[in-house]
Copies of this chain bind each other. A is one copy, B any other.
Amino acid sequence: MTTPTQTDLNVKALEILRGDASKIEQLIAVQLEHLTLPKCPLYEEVMNMQMFGLSRQIDFAVRAGMINREQGQQIINDLERKLADLFSLIMP
């Protein structure tokens, strides 16, 4: 089994984390479509839990030396911006 280079690791880690971020975005988008009251506690709890899980994965990837802190923060920022956009579509 060949040894992955540092770049391979970085690319693979970012691919997984960005994939997970977009899954969270889709999960929230679907919930928003079906929820009459987007402010209902359950919905927020799901989002917080998913964001917490993603942040723990990113923190691990940084500590394991697979990505740097800025790359990780970028993934979180992008997702938060997309979620804010989703929210603004349905908030009067």
Where the two chains meet, the residues of A that have a C-beta atom closer than 8 Å to any C-beta of B are: 1, 3-6, 9, 12-13, 16-17, 20, 49, 52-54, 56-57, 59-61, 63-66
Contacts and interface: CB of A to CB of B under 8 A. Distances in A.
Q: 6 tightest A-B contacts by CB?
A: A53-B56, A57-B60, A3-B5, A56-B57, A56-B56, A16-B63
Give this chain's copy count.
2
A12 B57 contact: no
Contacts of A5: 3
A37 to B, nearest CB: 22
A21 to B, nearest CB: 12
B3 A6 contact: yes
A61 to B, nearest CB: 7
Nearest to A60: B57
